Amino acid sequence: MDLDKEKQRYNLRSLHVLLVISFIITGSQFIWELMGIAGLFPKINQIYANTPSEYSSIFTIRMEQEMAIPNWYNLLRALLDLTSIVGLVLMWRLRKNGFHAYTLSKLLLMLLPLLFLDRSYMGIGDIMIAALFIAYYFFLLKSLGAFGGKNPQQNSES
């Protein structure tokens, strides 16, 4: 019995650590999309282009790619990032609909470049990391009873 409670605490701690990591990543992506919508990329590019650095040409190329993306696309990505953040908050509360919101928004975020841009905007590493996070969230939430079987309220009070 104590071993089961200890395992539940460990899984809950693991879930919280993973959620914090996801929140930082998704939150920074959301801020980046808002910067694109606000039209700050040309200003940032201008500031960074005048700074002598070995990375300034790489940064300039990346910023030119970002400036070529239409605002409606950045808005769509920002809405999906916001949906991911809501899903993360719900998963913190051990709600299975949070897992579904997070998973659906991540899948749509992965499909957007294929539908509206070219494949160079989509990285295989991003897909692999998202798939690992989704799988680990599923495993942790299932072990904590968020999908039924066990009482998640009992687990969160421990």
CA-CA distance, 116 to 135, in Å (whole number)? 27
Instruction: Answer yes or no: is 54 within a domain.
Output: no
Higher pLDDT, 126 or 57: 126
pLDDT band at 60 (very low <50, low <70, confident <90, very high): low
CA atoms within 13 A on the CB side of 150: 17
Q: How far apart are CA 114 and CA 8, in angstroms?
A: 39
Contact 36, 75 (CB under 8 A): no
> Could you tell me if residue 91 is inside a domain?
yes
Give the residue-averaged pLDDT of 100-110.
93
Domain count, the chain: 1
pTM over 0.75: yes
Q: Which two tokens stand for residue 96?
A: 């299975």
The verdict on residue 158 lying in a domain is no
Supply the pLDDT for residue 48.
63
Residue 53 lies in a domain: no
Left (φ > 0), alpha (ψ -120 to 50) or beta: where does 60 sit?
A: alpha
| Confidence check: pLDDT of 112 > 60 | yes
